[in-house]
Amino acid sequence: MSNTGSWYSSPTSSSNTRQSGVGARRSSHNGNITVRCTHYTRECNMVAPCCGKIVCCEQGHDSSGHCRNKLDGHADQVRVLICCDCNQKQGIRNSCQNKKCKISFGKHGCMKCRKWDNRESFHCEYCGICRRGRREHTKHCPVCNKCYPLSFHGSSHVCTTKSKCVGCGRDTHRSREESTTMACGHTMHTSCFLKRVQKTYTCPVKSCGKTVRNMDQWNKALEKRAESQRRSNPTKIAKITCNDCRSVSRVHTGGNLNKCKTCGSFNTKRIQ
């Protein structure tokens, strides 16, 4: 089927319906070779309306490079599903229409987004897409136009119009993954944020570098290490700048741990 033709054309035979293994894994079940999605845990594939290929999901289609059209954001145009259990083609539904099969395509089924997933998900009417997680554990911010996990925000949420994750560079608005806006205003996927804070406590944007996690439990230990460094060279004075409040101070120093006189942060760097 030509990419320049109509957006949707239902395949009429197996000869013009080809399987795409991109973003998927192959498995054998009941003697049938099927494409298994690696993005969602579900029991159906879909026929891409633009190129007629069997794809595991819209993300698998878009990352394959075999079609110039993008299916993500247009999955509502999909009209044909294929059961992973019995390979029967059928219309849009939540379970297989084959009376001998009747397998559920996923615990979460969204007719608007054409999403089926056995992991907990919900459709956000404001975002216009399905989000992973539970609806009651998230809150939609009308300024950011995104959903955020309540456990990461509460009353400390900082609104932002930035949509790219500063950890991986992928979009957070259209992403099904949870995202969080740090105190500095930059946005990260929650998974990227958790990996980041295991190694360091600063924002990955070089021009920012602000503290992105609560440091209360660490400050006492840092204070002891800084005091130990100062004892080794009690007369040395250094000029430092704070990455958090941007103030400049002159402090007694003995190493790389220097406390800002203005806000008390150890997220500082020596400039002299």
Last residue of a domain, one of 66, 88, 117: 117
Measured CA to CA, the distance from residue 193 to residue 191 in angstroms comes to 5
Joined together, the tokens standing for residue 160 give 């932002």
Q: Do both 129 and 113 map to the same domain? A: no
Q: Which of 1, 89, 93 is nearest to 53 (CA)?
A: 1
Are 104 and 68 within one domain?
yes
Same domain, yes or no: 193 and 142: yes
pLDDT at 33: 46
Read off the tokens for 153: 């925000």
Is 30 part of any domain? Answer: yes
Same domain, 137 and 190: yes
Is 172 within a domain?
Answer: yes
User: CA separation (Å) from 162 to 32, 159, 166, 226?
Assistant: 45, 9, 10, 36
* pLDDT at residue number 156: 60
Number of domains in the chain: 3
Going by their DSSP bridges, the two strands 53-55 and 18-19 should be labelled as parallel
pLDDT digits (tens, 9 = 90+) for 205-228: 888 889 887 787 788 888 888 888
Question: Are 257 and 225 in contact, with CB atoms under 8 Å apart?
Answer: yes
Nearest to 46 by CA among 113, 141, 135: 113
Question: Which pLDDT tens digits describe the chain residue by residue (272 residues)?
Answer: 333 333 333 333 333 444 444 444 444 444 444 567 778 888 999 999 999 988 888 888 888 888 888 888 788 899 999 999 899 999 999 999 999 999 999 988 888 888 888 888 888 888 888 888 888 888 888 877 778 777 655 556 677 767 788 998 888 877 767 777 787 878 888 888 888 888 888 999 888 889 887 787 788 888 888 888 888 777 788 899 999 889 998 988 878 888 888 988 889 988 87
Residues 137 and 184 occupy one common structural domain: yes
Helical (H) or strand (E) element with 232: helix 216-232
Angle at the Cα of 221 (from 250 to 260), degrees rounded to 5? 20
Clarify whether residues 24 and 90 are in a common domain: yes
Tens-place pLDDT, residues 226-243 = 888 888 777 788 899 999
Q: Residue 1 domain-assigned?
A: no
Based on the domain organization, do 148 and 230 belong to the same domain? no
Q: Domain end: 68, 85, 117, which one? A: 117
Residue with tokens 């075999």: 66
Residues 142 and 52 in one domain: no
Domain for residue 208, yes or no? no
Q: Domain residues for 253?
A: 225-270
Whether 81 and 126 share a structural domain: no
The domain boundary residue, chosen from 199, 217, 238: 199
- Residue 211 within any structural domain of the chain: no
CA separation for the pair 103, 110 (Å, rounded): 16
Is 218 within a domain? no
Question: Is 231 within a domain?
Answer: yes
Do 27 and 92 lie in one domain? The reply is: yes
What is the domain-level CATH number for residue 266? 2.20.28
183 falls within a domain: yes
